[in-house]
Chain A
Amino acid sequence: MPDWLAILVLILLAALALQILRRARLRRQEKTWLPPELAGATLAYAEQEFRIEQPFPLVARVDRGYLAGGMIYLLELKTRRAPRVYPSDIIELSAQKLALGASGQRVSDTGYVLIQEPGTRRFQITRVRLMDAQRIAALARRRKALLFGDTPPEAARHAGLCRKCAYLAECPSPRVGR
């Protein structure tokens, strides 16, 4: 066997070994946060976009959708220092459920918010109950009414949100002093 061919074979074998090791490391890492009920699930969607026209024109991109028992379980990734789930996470996942459900796929009422601590490989997963289609449609109608000036907007629930807001100077009545 010529030397160059032996070197090429060695490089390919080394790359193959690296690939196997990487996959094993990723699988181990995934096992640390994947909930037991999704342990045997198939990953059906990753960064998949869904578009619907009814009950209102909506576009949603699913971070991950796992298929288990003929049902899709949605998972949303967030990077946060505190492993806290916010109402906006539930709304986002529920809108994804509405968009994906319209394609004829059965989607579970249970979703997951996976929180990654920034700059680390530490994850924490939280199971959440998703909102139904009527509530999401009502939210979309309210948003439209807000934008048309038909209804007054509500302020942020927490002062902390105002403190970090880029529109603090222009906000008519923030919860914190400027």
Chain B
Amino acid sequence: MPRRRSYVTATQLAQMGVCERRILLERQYGKRSTAEQRSATNRGDAAHDSFFAHAQALHPRVQTSLPRRGCFIATAVFGPDAPECAALRRFRDRVLRRHRLGLGFIALYYRLSPPVATALARHPALAAVVRAALVPLARGAAWLTARMGTRRA
């Protein structure tokens, strides 16, 4: 069986500039952090999320390894695998994409939805309101696309 390569991360190498003893202690006792360090890590993660969101907003074509999070409002409020998202996607592909006006709406929606989705991820109460408003829309979209499918059959 081929051996899996063990990669060292840039962050692990950076620890060499902090304390070498800590590297060995971490290996011996497992990863450990103080409450202050955990709080700093959380602050750092939040700052990185925001920094990345800003990069995407200003430079939409920037190359990244991260998934382009929260691109769509329905995904932000229902989750990517929800049936409501699937219904709205079907509506987009079977109804909106067939008309010039619909294509214009899709293009506009793709431009506008990322900041709205980011805001919804930050404000759960607002997300709940939008979710409630989107449920009938998603049901209507599902009904319409199902009806179109029946007619075609």
Interface, chain A (partner B; CB < 8 A): 12, 15-16, 18-19, 22-23, 26-27, 29-30, 42-49, 51, 53, 56-61, 63-64, 77-79, 86-92, 95-96, 99, 116, 118-119, 136, 139-140, 142-143, 146-147, 153-156, 161-162, 164-167, 170-172
Contact = CB atoms under 8 A, between A and B. Distances in A.
A65 B68 CA distance: 17
Given A95-B13, A155-B19, A167-B25, A44 B44 contact: no
Contacts of B56: 46
A89 B14 contact: yes
Contact of B14 (A29, A88, A171, A172): A88
B18 A16 contact: no
B17 A171 contact: no
B14 A95 contact: yes
B58 interface: yes
17 contacts: A43-B62, A45-B64, A64-B51, A77-B47, A77-B51, A87-B17, A91-B10, A91-B13, A91-B16, A116-B51, A139-B13, A143-B23, A147-B23, A154-B19, A155-B20, A155-B21, A166-B33
B55 A51 contact: no
Given A43-B62, A60-B10, A165-B22, 11 more contacts: A29-B54, A57-B8, A79-B43, A96-B10, A118-B47, A143-B8, A143-B13, A146-B20, A153-B23, A153-B24, A156-B19
Contacts of A170: 25, 28-29
Contacts of B6: 57
Interface of B is mostly: helix
B9 A60 contact: yes
Interface of B: 5-29, 32-34, 36-37, 40, 43-44, 47-48, 51-52, 54-59, 62-66, 108, 111-112, 115-116
A95 B9 CA distance: 8
A84 B34 CA distance: 21
A142 B27 CA distance: 16
